[in-house]
Amino acid sequence: MRQLSCLARFLASAAVTTALATALAGCQTAGMSGITGALGARAEAPADPNRVAEIAGERYRANPKDAGAALAYGQALRAIGQRAQAVAMLEKASLANPSNKTVLAAYGRALADNGNFKAAFDTLTHAHSPDNPDWRILSVQGTALDQLGRSDEARRYYASALKLAPGEPSVLSNLGLSYMLTKELPKAEETLRQAYANGRADARVRQNLALVVGLQGRFAEAESIVQADLPPEEAAANVAYLKQMLDGKTDTRGRGRGVLASGH
């Protein structure tokens, strides 16, 4: 199913950032958000993302070596779906700021957004160090490995992230989606329920849980999960989107590897 293939494509991209839920904009048709995980804090969606990108671009072009300007421009480009442009710009920024780990993390995230999972993983390896690991980056590296078909290795990264951030719902959600990729649906559900039970879990964790419950044939239960605490209009839109995804439940592979998933 087209939506499922598209969602699988962006497993890492949305997992990379909470600040840009629009990373799945090319796939979403009814407001369901994506995978959890973050390299930064959530940001309010701008009224006019294109104008924000225009302003950020002007600031960056005025001083291409300014790391802060590059980071802002990269985020703005991703927000409007210009993923390839974000990669190209952040690659230049990383060359201009080779020791800036924040720039490297943003570059790795942009690569993942654009589906360059091997390059994303390698870049993110240099964005932190074994003696000072970042659980957010470890979680994103895990999603990249999942997309590369290396789920066992990915889960070691999630485990390391959880040692640094015990019970972190975004990491647990990505781990649950990893189990979904390998069709271990009971394990996926158990892990996503742990994430869902955490008071800091956001709506995307709930949506991921609903998807895995629905994939096991319990659609009524999945529907009640996505409807919880939502205004009627939004609840109806989420249910409609869940139905679209589950219509293709017998085809659980996207782009030749990985599963249906819906990535923060």
Domain coordinates in residue numbering, the chain? 2-246
* The model's pTM: 0.74
CA distance to 38, 58, 119, per residue, from 93 (Å)? 21, 15, 16
Least confident of 22-31, 140-149, 170-179, 213-222: 22-31
Predicted confidence band at 15 (pLDDT cuts at 50, 70, 90)? Answer: very low
* Chain Cα centroid distance, residue 160: 18
User: Which phi-psi region, left, alpha or beta, contains residue 167 (left: φ > 0; alpha: ψ -120 to 50)?
Assistant: left
Per-residue pLDDT at 137: 95
CA 145 to chain centroid: 13
Residue 31 has pLDDT above 50, yes or no: no
For the domain made up of 2-246, the CATH class stated in words is: mainly alpha
d(CA 172, CA 191) in angstroms, rounded, equals 6
| Nearest Cα residue to 56 out of 68, 42, 69 | 69
pLDDT digits (tens, 9 = 90+) for 85-117: 999 999 999 999 999 999 999 999 999 989 999
What are the residues whose beta carbons fall under 8 Å from the beta carbon of 44, sequence distance 6 or more?
none
Where does the chain have alpha helices with state H? 2-9, 11-16, 49-62, 67-79, 83-96, 101-113, 117-125, 135-147, 151-164, 169-181, 185-197, 203-215, 219-227, 232-246
Q: Quick check: 124 pLDDT over 70?
A: yes
State the pLDDT confidence band at 202, using cuts at 50, 70 and 90. confident
Torsion angles phi and psi, residue 254, rounded to 5: -125, 130
pLDDT at residue 248, as a whole number = 61
Q: Which has the closest alpha carbon to 162: 185, 119, 195? A: 195
User: Can you give the C-alpha Rg of the chain in angstroms?
Assistant: 18
Q: What is the pLDDT of residues 132-162, one digit of tens each?
A: 999 999 999 999 999 999 999 999 999 999 9
pLDDT for the residue numbered 77: 95
